[in-house]
Amino acid sequence: MSVISTMKEFFRVAGELRSVIPVMASMRKLPTAEDKDSLGLMFERSVERAPDSSFLLCEGKEWSYSQFNSEVNQLAHYFQKKGLGRGDVVVLFMESRAGYIRSILAMAKLGVTASLINNSLTGSALAHCINTSNAKACLVGEERIEPVAEVLDQLNLEAGKDFFCLADKGGDANPIWLEDVDPALELMPTSNLAVTGEILAGETAFNIFTSGTTGLPKAAVLPHRKIIITGTTMGQAGFQAKASDRLYLCLPIYHITGMGPGLASFITAGGSIYLKRRFSASSFWKEVQQYQANCFIYVGELCRYLLNSEPCQEEKNNPIVKVMGNGLRPEIWDEFKTRFGIDRVAEMYGASEGNTAFINILNKNKTIGAAMTPVELVKYDYENDEIVRDENGLCIPVALGEPGLLLGEINDKAQFDGYTDPDASKKKIVNGVLAPDDQWFNTGDIVKQIDVGFSLGLKHFQFVDRTGDTFRWRAENVSTNEVSEVINAHPQVNVANVYGVEVPGCEGKAGMAALQIEYDEVFDWSGLKALLERELPAYARPLFMRVQRNIETTATFKLVKSDLREESYHPEKVGSDLLYYLRPDSDSYEPLDDEAYSDICLGAVGY
């Protein structure tokens, strides 16, 4: 790099850092658990600052901050009259639309914990999430009545009493086990609720379900304090959001990325949001131009979809200048910025239940940025899926540039709020990392420190991969144990061993299962596909199957995955084992022949 280029980069980084100084100052004012503050109060402050400013645009309708606040208050008053209040839990199950945001803010104003359920769940996974929420009520979107009806007899809530429905597009009459909320809302007050000013920042705002390494989804506890901190720091340091900015939000709000850096960031800034139920590459740039969105919250898969789309007129001279998200892979980073003319990429890293976060505040390329709390990268034994320790029993930090397991120190400023299940929380805590009596949060992710040139003393990192029994596909964490349990319910399957495999041209890892079945029977592949569709969301359904006579286990009967991951679906590596795959338009798994394998390797199957 020339002297001139070096100086330019120095001043650019210094300029980026100057923009972050106000953020660092504001962090000293962030609420403690005992302060009276909440997501509901944060929204009311933005309403008071600019009541007539645009808050939300969704499906042809626009709300100002004051208009939306009135509708939120009506819903909150409704449920207050139903007897719900601080400390209670309500399940929210609907698609990303204006009614969902209204429901989230109404519960926040009441001090009610909103248990946010993945709206693609069905079957036993859906029943599990509702039942383990220990909720007093369930608010269902009209568009998601059917999946709840299918598991109604498995739920611990009372039909006809504890279920409520929020209208969507006005379909058929609601079933008798649901109470229709909308007719009563016009009679409710539009005024703010007194209780909102009494809610403490340490009270729980949300239970957000996350797929972990052990079975069905677990509910991570998110206090109001964490949402406020995320919205403030990510919004200012990442988006550098202002009231004049407009966010294109198509990520699910039941996930922390859509909820915190997305929704909460723009509420904090008093900005405007264009809300889309789900991502569509074909309509993305048209809507960006139509609604003049200059900010975009992403996961890496969406960026790849946009790059794989044919160029269109609307992408040229588009208004988007800054994006924030996670999972933008280094190999597509430069092309993404260049093709779409994006100035700022604030890649970040974090987890719903985690106590640490990273953000690329200096707009460096191909990095998740610097950690906001103390972290350590330690040596990890991938074969045995465990941390490596020295002769004193302490963890071993990795060398610069070497991938290691990411741990976040648990302290007063970086608390671990855990899950609703205490046992699950204990499993995420690592003791004796750098000292015998310290405690650290195990992220389950492999990360490495990288050299990004001038960084003014900030250490920058890059995400590498996930460990153990969880992999990411379609921007979702998939629990191999959860998928295995569903497959094992098939009467012809003896044992299923699930793992993630790479697919050319796709972000993350697709699901693959090694099955031990009875060879002397004709296997019902279409029945297995139907079972998976009934019990699992689309992102969790395996695309590949491998039939084995014997499933390898360790001495303690744990399923061995390392060789299976490496052999993947490659015919030359699996020997005599039979391979099957699922095409996007197929009704059943089909034999993986040479032609199909070639198409997969060329990225021509359409995954």
CA distance linking residue 505 with residue 146, whole number of Å: 35
CA distance linking residue 233 with residue 112, whole number of Å: 24
CA distances for 218 relative to 100, 202, 310, 425, 532, angstroms = 21, 20, 39, 10, 20
* Block residue for tokens 């980073």: 333
Residue 7 lies in a domain: no
Q: What is the CATH number of the domain that holds 410?
A: 2.30.38.10
Interstrand relation of 137-141 and 89-93 (parallel, antiparallel or unpaired): parallel
More confident residue, 152 or 420: 152
* pLDDT higher than threshold 70 for residue 102: yes
Residues 330/358, Cβ–Cβ less than 8 Å: no
Q: What is the span of the domain harbouring residue 563?
A: 472-601
pLDDT tens digits, 105-143: 999 999 999 999 999 899 998 999 999 999 999 999 999
| Closest CA relative to residue 496, chosen from 532, 471, 539 | 532
**For residues 243-252, average pLDDT:** 96
pLDDT at residue 384 in the model: 74
> Is 573 in a helix, a strand, or coil?
helix
- Whether 333 and 478 map to the same domain: the answer is no
CA distance linking residue 213 with residue 553, whole number of Å: 18
Q: What is the CATH number of the domain that holds 35?
A: 3.40.50.12780
pTM (two decimals): 0.84
> Is 234 in a helix, a strand, or coil?
helix
Count: domains in the chain: 3
- Whether 451 and 575 map to the same domain: the answer is no
pLDDT at residue 213 in the model: 42
pLDDT tens digits, 477-511: 787 878 988 998 899 998 899 999 999 988 889 99
CA distances for 292 relative to 96, 244, 336, 539, angstroms = 20, 11, 19, 31
CA distance linking residue 470 with residue 498, whole number of Å: 10
**For residues 141-150, average pLDDT:** 96
pLDDT at residue 353 in the model: 85
- Whether 202 and 239 map to the same domain: the answer is yes
pLDDT tens digits, 336-390: 999 999 999 999 998 888 899 999 999 999 999 999 889 999 999 876 778 999 9
CA distance linking residue 332 with residue 315, whole number of Å: 17
Q: What is the CATH number of the domain that holds 518?
A: 3.30.300.30
* pLDDT higher than threshold 50 for residue 555: no
**For residues 187-208, average pLDDT:** 97
Residue 355 lies in a domain: no
| Closest CA relative to residue 269, chosen from 26, 98, 35 | 26
E strands present in 30-110: 54-58, 61-64, 89-93
CA atoms within 13 A on the CB side of 177: 15
> Is 305 in a helix, a strand, or coil?
helix
> Final residue of a domain: which of 466, 498, 527?
466
| Closest CA relative to residue 262, chosen from 280, 243, 275 | 275
- Token duo for residue 448: 């490495």
Residue 580 lies in a domain: yes
Beta-bridge partner residues of 84: none
